[in-house]
Structure formats: structure tokens, C-alpha cells
Amino acid sequence: MPGALSSLKIIEVGDLVSAPYAAKLMADMGAEVIKIERPGLGDRARTRGPFPGDSPHPEKSGLFLYLNANKYGITLDIAKPEGMNLLERLAAQADVLIHNVWPPEMDRVGFSYERMRKANPRLVMTSITPYGITGPNRDWRAEELTMWGAGGVCVLNGAGADYPELPPLRTFGSQAGFQGGVHGAVATMGAVMAQLRDGEGQHVDVSVQESIASQLELTFEYWPYMGMIATRLGRKPIQPVETMRCKDGWIYVCCIEEHQWRAFVEIMGDPEWAREEIFADRVKRGENWEALKIFLEEYVSQHTVLDLYRKVQERRVPFAPVSTMGDLLNSEHLKARGFFVEIAHPVAGVYRYPGAPLKYHATPWEIRMPAPTLGQHNEEIFGRRLGLDSARMAELKRTGVI
């Protein structure tokens, strides 16, 4: 059985994370993705690493290799008229074009939906941009950190009321890019469903800032409902929900419901202190956290992470290990589910990577090929797909178009 999206043809003009992740989600479900990179330099993810042995190499960057498996890779300079012309010809054969070209750059090179639509009226074109393609900030420069801030999530994380001088804290990695990517993939698939219904394409405008602001849980609503500002400095109203140190690592101690707390107290051997009035309910435990912490630390620190985790989970108390990368790679649960996948790349070598976010029972999620080397499929795509002869391709190469 082929993948769920095996009849979908996608062109990706993607750099770093957002558009490449959207196209990856589809590629891993069988869609054909042709990824376009700048001649010479390629996708900036090629410079980001991590690199095996710490030696930077454009074909060995972990971020690039992860995001671009299952894709064909070609080089094309869309800032050159001939490059744009070739992009139009590729778009004419595709169902979807996903890109994250920065809006001022789109303007500069004349890359627009109107233009792509002329080449292919049934094309779905998705623009994933930091602030969207309209509005006063559309041309603002953006990086991961600035977007995590602009989306309203970063302000919620940090050391808390005892350390007001410490700044709001980012979340590790490329989370703004990933969220732009997956929300972009949802919107794109919506437009694809409409295309399936009536054969027409459309432009999809995805804002990374808004994708992040969609995930503020209850915190955003504190302003319109109660006139309150939510920040990292708030104290936790209920406890315990805290990271604590075990013998061999960290565990997340989590008792939200009363029955979970009672089960944990029993696991701890029903100590006398737990009967104190100041710990009688979760709100009181929040108010008296400084005192409670001392008792809990003493107990937790005598256990290993896995022992305590298994012990409390047997009583349905939702603790979790603060997993290290090694914990994840060695987890018996993840091994049994086959989460990590091995990918062999001709230059980078054979390594394990994060695998499927979802398991489909009828259609497979699968790695069919490793990420492309820069321009690896130029001949196949420009030659066989677009019918350029080798003299023409040599000419385009000489002039820096491909």
C-alpha cells in the first residue's frame, strides 16, 4: 500500500524549518516533493548542524538531513528570469507549492501567487511567513527567538517570581519554525481538499506569529476575560507540579488531582508531615510549597528516576522523567514502538533519527530515501521532467541559474 498522499506532487521553495517541515510531513506520507535550493549555498539548514564529529559540512547537517529526507533536491536561482521561468514550469506540473520566501524577497524577485496561478490555475500555493503576507509588519526581519517572543509564548516561561531579573526563556530548538510548518501543513491540506472538490487552486497565507498565538492555552484569555496579564512571574496556584532531583537525574513530580496526591502519600509510606493542615489540599500545598518542597525533596532524592516513575504510574499518578536524549534513545517503550528510524546517507553516514509522529494503520509512514545532496536530482528533474537537453543544462549551470 502506498502512502496516504502518494498521488500529491509538491514543489518546495524552503529554507531552514517552517516550509521544509510542512513538506516533510507530506513527503513522509508518500507525497512527491521536489525541493528547490539556491545554487552554491543551498538551504541555510545545511549550516546549522549538529554535525557528526562537530565538523561542519553542507551534506552533514543534522537539521537539514532530518527535515529533507524523502525529497528530491534541485538547485535553482529564482531571482534570475530563467530561474523563475523554470519554477513556473515546475509549478505547472504540481498540485502544491510550499515556500517560506520572506515577503520583501518575494517582491524583489517577482515571486507571487498571481504569477504561479497563471502557470497553473489549480495550484495550491502556501506562503509560510513570519508575520503573514499582509499587515504593517510583513516586511519585518525575523529569527526563531524574535518569533517565539512575538507569538506570546516566551513571556510565560522563566525562573519565576524569585528571580525577576532573569529574562523570559526561549524553548529549545526551532519551535517557531516547526509550528509555522505544521499549521501550514494543515491549511495546505484544507486547500488541497477544496482542490479535490472543484479543481481550483488558491493562495494560503500562514502567519508564524499567529500559529504560535493560537497555542496560549488559557493564558491569553486572562486579558479579555479578567483584565489580568499572564507572565513567567506568577506563582503556581497548585502543587506539586515541579521538576525535582532524583539519585540519577530529574523527575517531574505531578499531582494535579486529589486522588493522585493521596496515592503518592501512600507510596511515600504515609508520613506524618503529610497530615499537616497546611498540606490539606492542592491550593494549600501551592501556598505552602516552600515547606512541602523540603519533605518531597528528601523522599524523591532517595530514588532513581525509573524506579519512582514506575512506582507512581502503577498507582496512576502522572509523574514523568525529565528525559535526556540518552533516555529517549534507550527507552524500552519507544523501542517497542519503533519510534527512531535509521537513515543511511551517502555522505553523512548511518544514524538514528526521530521517526513518525503518527502511526497509520492502512497507509505507511516511511523513509524512502535520505535527504538529497545539493543539486542531486538536477538532471532527473530538469532533464527528464522538463525535457532540457544537456547543452541547455550546462548553459544554465554556467550562468548560475541551476
Partner 1 sequence: MATPPLEGIRVADFTWVWAGPYCTLQLAHLGADVIRIETKTRPCITRVLPPWPEGKPGGLNRSGYFNQYNQGKRSLTLNFKDPAAHEVARKLIAKSDVVTNNFAHGVMDRMGFGYEELKKIKPDIIMISLSGYGDTGPYRDYVAYGPAQVPLSGLSSLTGYKGWPPMHAGFSYADPNAGVHGAFAVLAALYHRAKTGQGQYIDMSQWECAMTLLPEGILEYTFNGREPERDGNRDPMMAPHGIFKCLDRPEKVAGNTIDQWVAIVCADDTDWGRLARAIERPELATEPKFATLASRKRNEDELEAIITQWTVSRRAADIARSLQHAGVPAAVVADNKYLSEEDAHIRARDYFVLRDHPEVGKRQHAGIPWKLGRTETSVRAAAPTIGQHTDEVLEQLLGYSADEITNLRAQGALE
Q: Which 360-389 positions form the footprint of partner 1 (CB under 8 A)?
A: 360-363
Q: For the stretch 27-55, what's the b/e string if a residue is b when 16 or more beta carbons lie within 10 angstroms of its beta carbon? A: bbbbbbbbbbbbbeebbebbbbbebeeee
Q: If binding is defined by CB under 8 A, does position 280 make contact with partner 1?
A: no
Identify which range of 266-274, 347-355, 370-378, 380-388 contacts partner 1 by CB under 8 A.
347-355
Among 352, 380, 390, 399, binds partner 1 (CB under 8 A): 352
If 0-12 CB within 10 Å is exposed, 13-18 middle and 19+ buried, where does residue 390 land? exposed
DSSP at 201: -
Cβ-contact 245, 297 below 8 angstroms: yes
Q: If binding is defined by CB under 8 A, does position 308 make contact with partner 1?
A: no
Cβ-contact 373, 68 below 8 angstroms: no
Q: If binding is defined by CB under 8 A, does position 178 make contact with partner 1?
A: yes
Cell 527528464, residue located? 384
Q: If binding is defined by CB under 8 A, does position 8 make contact with partner 1?
A: yes
Strand, helix or coil at 1? Answer: coil
Please give the grid coordinates belonging to residue 356. 513518525
Q: Please identify, using beta-carbon distances, which residue of 76 and 123 lies nearer to partner 1.
A: 123
Closest approach, Cβ 77 to partner 1, in A, equals 21
Q: For residue 108, how many other CB atoms are within 10 A of its CB?
A: 11
Please give the grid coordinates belonging to residue 370. 535520505
Closest approach, Cβ 310 to partner 1, in A, equals 9
Residues 106-145 that bind partner 1 (CB under 8 A): 113, 131-132, 134-138, 140-145
Q: Please identify, using beta-carbon distances, which residue of 4 and 109 lies nearer to partner 1.
A: 4
Among 199, 269, 277, 325, binds partner 1 (CB under 8 A): 325
Q: If binding is defined by CB under 8 A, does position 283 make contact with partner 1?
A: no
Residues 54-93 that bind partner 1 (CB under 8 A): 54, 62-63, 65-67
Identify which range of 277-285, 350-358, 373-381, 388-396 contacts partner 1 by CB under 8 A.
350-358
Judged by CB under 8 A, the number of residues near partner 1 is 151
Q: Quote the CA–CA distance of 60 and 46 in Å, as a whole number.
A: 7
Cell 528510524, residue located? 341
Residue 34, beta-bridge partner list: 11, 72
Q: If binding is defined by CB under 8 A, does position 337 make contact with partner 1?
A: yes
Among 107, 118, 228, 301, binds partner 1 (CB under 8 A): 228
Q: If binding is defined by CB under 8 A, does position 357 make contact with partner 1?
A: yes
Among 225, 290, 346, 387, binds partner 1 (CB under 8 A): 225
Residues 153-172 that bind partner 1 (CB under 8 A): 153-159, 164-172
Rounded to whole angstroms, what are the CA distances from 225 to 86, 228, 371?
52, 8, 48
Cβ-contact 205, 131 below 8 angstroms: no
Q: Please identify, using beta-carbon distances, which residue of 273 and 339 lies nearer to partner 1.
A: 339
Q: Quote the CA–CA distance of 161 and 72 in Å, as a whole number.
A: 50
Q: For residue 217, how many other CB atoms are within 10 A of its CB?
A: 9
Closest approach, Cβ 399 to partner 1, in A, equals 27
Closest approach, Cβ 347 to partner 1, in A, equals 13
Q: If binding is defined by CB under 8 A, does position 399 make contact with partner 1?
A: no
Cβ-contact 237, 283 below 8 angstroms: yes
Q: If binding is defined by CB under 8 A, does position 48 make contact with partner 1?
A: yes
Residues 195-224 that bind partner 1 (CB under 8 A): 196-198, 200-207, 209-211, 213-224
